[in-house]
Amino acid sequence: MGLTIHYSLRSNTRSPKNARELVASLRSRALDLPFEHVGDIVELSGTECDIESLERDHPHRWLLIQAGQYVGRPARGGGTHSYRVSPTHVVAFETVPGPGCEPANLGLCKYPGFLEIEGEERYIYGKGFVQPTRRLRTGLNGWRWSSFCKTQYASNPDCGGVQNFLRCHLAVIRLLDHAQSLDILDEVSDEGDYWDKRDFPALAGEVGEWNEMIAAFAGEMKDWLGDDVKSAITDFPDFEHLEAKGRAVE
């Protein structure tokens, strides 16, 4: 929970070489922006992309978690059942915009055209109980990426406050601007509204409102459940002040 930039990339190229060049261009632009850290390009294929085979402390674990896509299909009895689709080829890199901010991972991935899905167990005369499989079309053609970066907690005064938040948030936006110039930006959803409005003062005001709102919510949870409630907002040195302002608005 917190102010976040969601984004997705897509290229119709069939060439791994072109995909590498596009990701290299993104990384080169990231190096020119005020990111705290820009990682090397990671290229993985085949079983290397399988998140289930990695240790929990593997350095690429979060990157591969974000590399997964989901496809939904109608479920028996109503609703939708989602299936995770692991990539077959990953070309990506990690950035850390700044203190208190989540990593912003970017890249391009290839995905299988079909998944083998286990069906419901059923009885077949002469065979007993069997669990048939079926092929599910993923529709994930081309090279893709879908990820997010929560920037809100970069506004913690201990991390540099609103000035640090603005630097982190705008660095991610400017990198996405470059993705758009490469014609690989598919979609952006900026909960700070900066992507659409490009209003610097409004973005600073927006994160302040989010901090107050979440502090009020965290305070209510602590009232109900006790001090075991943990949230990044409770680590702010001015948490109680933010909580009071948020509750006053409510």
The 10s digit of each residue's pLDDT in 20-59 is 999 999 999 999 999 999 999 999 999 899 888 778 888 8
The answer on pLDDT for 132 being more than 70 is no
The predicted structure's pLDDT at residue 201 = 92
142 and 233 in a single domain? The answer is no
Is the Cβ–Cβ distance between 226 and 40 less than 8 Å? no
208 and 188 in a single domain? The answer is no
Residue 98 included in any domain: yes
Q: What is the dihedral of CA 137, 140, 141, 142, to 10 degrees?
A: -160
13 and 28 in a single domain? The answer is yes
Q: What is the rounded distance in angstroms from the CA atom of residue 198 to the CA atom of residue 157? A: 24
Q: How confident is the model at residue 246 (pLDDT cuts 50, 70, 90)?
A: confident
* Final residue before a domain boundary, out of 171, 197, 223: 197
Is the Cβ–Cβ distance between 9 and 145 less than 8 Å? yes
Q: What is the rounded distance in angstroms from the CA atom of residue 24 to the CA atom of residue 248? A: 48
Q: What is the pTM of this model?
A: 0.86
Give every CB contact of residue 113 below 8 A, 6+ residues apart in sequence. Answer: 137, 138, 140, 141
171 and 59 in a single domain? The answer is yes
Residue range 242-248: mean pLDDT, rounded? 82
Q: What is the rounded distance in angstroms from the CA atom of residue 241 to the CA atom of residue 233? A: 12
Q: What is the dihedral of CA 154, 158, 160, 161, to 10 degrees?
A: 70
Residue 122 included in any domain: no
3-state secondary structure of 21: helix
Q: Quick count: other Cβ atoms within 10 Å of Cβ 230?
A: 11
What contacts 24+ positions apart, CB below 8 Å, involve 205-210? 206/3, 207/3, 207/151, 207/152, 207/155, 207/162, 207/165, 207/169, 208/155, 208/162, 210/2, 210/3, 210/152
100 and 36 in a single domain? The answer is yes
The predicted structure's pLDDT at residue 115 = 84
103 and 208 in a single domain? The answer is no
Give the domain extent around 208: 199-250
Tokens standing for 207? 């994160």
> Between 239-249 and 200-225, two packed helices, what is the crossing angle to 10 degrees?
90
203 and 92 in a single domain? The answer is no
The predicted structure's pLDDT at residue 222 = 74
Q: Which tens digit of pLDDT belongs to each residue from 146-192?
A: 999 999 999 999 999 999 999 999 999 999 999 999 999 999 999 99
107 and 176 in a single domain? The answer is yes
Residue 117 included in any domain: no
240 and 145 in a single domain? The answer is no
Residue 55 included in any domain: yes
* Final residue before a domain boundary, out of 158, 178, 197: 197
Residue range 188-208: mean pLDDT, rounded? 95
**Nearest of 183, 234, 227 to residue 211 by alpha carbon:** 234
Q: How confident is the model at residue 226 (pLDDT cuts 50, 70, 90)?
A: confident
* Final residue before a domain boundary, out of 158, 180, 197: 197
250 and 226 in a single domain? The answer is yes
Q: Which tens digit of pLDDT belongs to each residue from 86-130?
A: 999 999 999 999 999 999 999 999 999 988 776 665 656 666 666
Q: How confident is the model at residue 195 (pLDDT cuts 50, 70, 90)?
A: very high
The predicted structure's pLDDT at residue 210 = 87
Residue 181 included in any domain: yes
Q: How confident is the model at residue 202 (pLDDT cuts 50, 70, 90)?
A: very high
The predicted structure's pLDDT at residue 43 = 97
Residue 124 included in any domain: no
The answer on pLDDT for 250 being more than 90 is no
Alpha helix stretches (DSSP H) within the chain: 16-32, 61-67, 161-181, 194-197, 200-225, 239-249
148 and 232 in a single domain? The answer is no
Q: Which tens digit of pLDDT belongs to each residue from 51-85?
A: 887 788 888 889 999 999 988 777 666 777 788 89
Residue 169 included in any domain: yes
- Dihedrals phi, psi of 162, to nearest 5 degrees: -60, -35
Which of residues 221 and 191 earns the better pLDDT score? 191
The predicted structure's pLDDT at residue 71 = 86
Q: How many domains does the chain contain in total? A: 2
153 and 68 in a single domain? The answer is yes
Residue 128 included in any domain: no
